[in-house]
Amino acid sequence: MKKIKGRMDESILVCVYYGPNGERLIKRGHKLAQIVGCPLYVLTVDPLPYDEFDAEKSGYVDRWRELCEELDVDEFIIRDNEKRSSVKTIKEVAHNHNITQIVIGQSPQNRWEEITKGSFVNVLLRHLTFIDIHIVSTDRTLKGANENGITYEKGVRGFLRQDEDGYSLSFTRSKNNLYEGIFYKEIGTDFNNGVFKFVNNEGRTCQVHVTEDKVTGVMKEPPNLKTN
């Protein structure tokens, strides 16, 4: 049986995204909730259905759920298969749970904050009135992997397929896939931004840059990537 919180006029929502910083955000929100003595909720939003998550993403979600149970979080909320913008989803959850404070993460490489023509924070502020927003920066020790200061997560199996706009990244086996390889996601981003390594039809190792699932460039003889 959960303990009745002392400050029911306050309620905190932590928004976590695909990546290693989710645990840090949840722990920060938990500390804040303990200080205030109020309910704590954790939310993750994804455009894909849960059963289409790859192994790595599912692992993050499972760990977040376990951590929420360990910290006695009031509710861990998964909004999968969500076709609306993240801001609209956060706004709805905040309204339903009478949220007064929101904890989010932000870093120089954060792509999820770029919604429309403004930053994610500014858009969120315009949609959420009378709610305090706490911005937690990404751990600086995650930088310094290469000359661009980018660190990559552990590689996962993926595929490249051709579409009307060029080439795109996929994690589902299909007859439409052209190449199979390994995708290395940049730490500090929330969409599929990073590099994809594969062997072409000539037997040469190639590396393509990927931005939000779309291929944006190709390099031969790719440099070594430092993974976390």
Rg (CA), the chain: 19
| Per-residue model confidence as pLDDT tens digits over 181-192 | 888 888 867 788
Mean pLDDT throughout 136-154?
A: 54
Tell which CATH classification among 3.40.50.620, 3.10.20.30, 3.40.1190.20, 3.40.50.300 matches the domain 12-141. Answer: 3.40.50.620
Is the pLDDT score of 214 beyond 90? no
Is the pLDDT score of 114 beyond 70? no
The whole-chain average pLDDT of the chain stands at: 78
The band of 39, judged by pLDDT with boundaries at 50, 70 and 90, is very high
Q: How far is CA 92 from CA 29, 53, 116, 193, 209, in A?
A: 19, 23, 19, 27, 35
The band of 149, judged by pLDDT with boundaries at 50, 70 and 90, is low
Is the pLDDT score of 110 beyond 70? no
Domain regions of the chain by residue span: 12-141, 156-220
Neighbours of 86 (CB within 10 A): 22
Q: For the range 213-220, what are the long-range contacts, defined as Cβ-Cβ under 8 Å and sequence gap of 24 or more?
A: 213/168, 213/169, 214/165, 214/166, 214/167, 214/168, 214/169, 215/160, 215/166, 215/167, 215/168, 215/169
pLDDT of residue 183: 87
How far apart (Å, rounded) are the C-alpha atoms in residues 155 and 187? 12
- 184: which strand partners? 195
Least confident of 29-38, 109-118, 126-135: 109-118
3-class SS string, the chain: CCCCCCCCCCCEEEEECCCCCHHHHHHHHHHHHHHHCCCEEEEEECCCCHHHCCHHHHHHHHHHHHHHHHCCCCEEEEECCCCCCHHHHHHHHHHHCCCCEEEEEECCCCCCCEECCEEHHHHHHHHCCCCEEEEEECCHHHCCCCCCCCCECCCEEEEEEEECCEEEEECCCCCCEEEEEEEEEECCCCCCCEEEEEECCCCCEEEEEEECCEEEEEEECCCCCCEC
Is the pLDDT score of 142 beyond 50? no
The band of 166, judged by pLDDT with boundaries at 50, 70 and 90, is confident
